[in-house]
């Protein structure tokens, strides 16, 4: 069943990529470009082929850079950039330090983000959640805990934070 789930995930990502490619061809919004970049990043992770990062990585990075050029103050673009950096090797411009920088930029931009429907408005709590994960990987446990708590202030009852992320910190308190 794991193989079937992997194949289904690949199919869904291929479909999402196609739809986002069509959407960005018609109207290249920063949100759509960043989302497509994220989808391509997931495709790299699922491929199981180490060389896919060599071909798809630059495509994903290029889409993110284009999104930043179109809308440099879009917090969702910076959120996706930070998430992407978490899974990009440091030698290719990623890593947790880069992720932390981009996620802090997203958080700062969310402070003044006041989208009006139908503009997207998601991601504020997610920025804190992903910042917590970057901090946790950097072994800044108290800071990670604080980030997860901030996410819960924004999105009370988030089960991922409550049941998985906070318990994963254990009782230690490294700075």
Closest residue by Cα to residue 41 from 97, 11, 85, 75: 85
Tokens of 147: 């980030």
Overall average pLDDT of the 111-117 stretch: 89
Closest residue by Cα to residue 52 from 90, 99, 10, 82: 10
| 141-160 pLDDT per residue, tens | 999 999 999 999 999 999 99
> What's this model's pTM, rounded to 2 decimal places?
0.89
Closest residue by Cα to residue 154 from 119, 98, 106: 106
Residues 6+ apart with CB under 8 A from 37: 60, 61, 63, 64, 67, 80, 84
Whole-angstrom distance, CA of residue 92 vs CA of residue 41: 13
State residue 137's pLDDT score.
Answer: 96
Overall average pLDDT of the 103-113 stretch: 97
Overall average pLDDT of the 19-42 stretch: 94
């Amino acid at each position: 069943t794991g193989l079937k789930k992997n194949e289904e995930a690949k199919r869904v990502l291929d479909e999402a990529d196609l739809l986002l490619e069509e959407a960005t061809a018609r109207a290249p919004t920063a949100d759509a470009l960043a989302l497509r970049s994220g989808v391509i990043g997931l495709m790299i992770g699922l491929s199981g082929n180490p060389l896919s990062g060599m071909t798809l990585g630059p495509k994903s990075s290029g889409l993110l850079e284009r999104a930043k050029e179109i809308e440099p103050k879009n917090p969702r673009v910076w959120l996706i950039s930070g998430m992407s950096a978490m899974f990009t090797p440091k030698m290719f411009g990623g890593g947790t330090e880069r992720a932390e920088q981009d996620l802090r930029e997203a958080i700062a931009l969310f402070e003044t983000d006041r989208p009006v429907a139908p503009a997207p408005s998601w991601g504020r709590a997610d920025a804190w959640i992903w910042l917590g994960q970057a901090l946790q990987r950097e072994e800044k446990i108290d800071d990670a805990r604080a980030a997860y708590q901030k996410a819960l202030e924004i999105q009370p009852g988030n089960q991922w934070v409550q049941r998985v992320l906070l318990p994963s910190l254990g009782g230690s308190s490294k700075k």
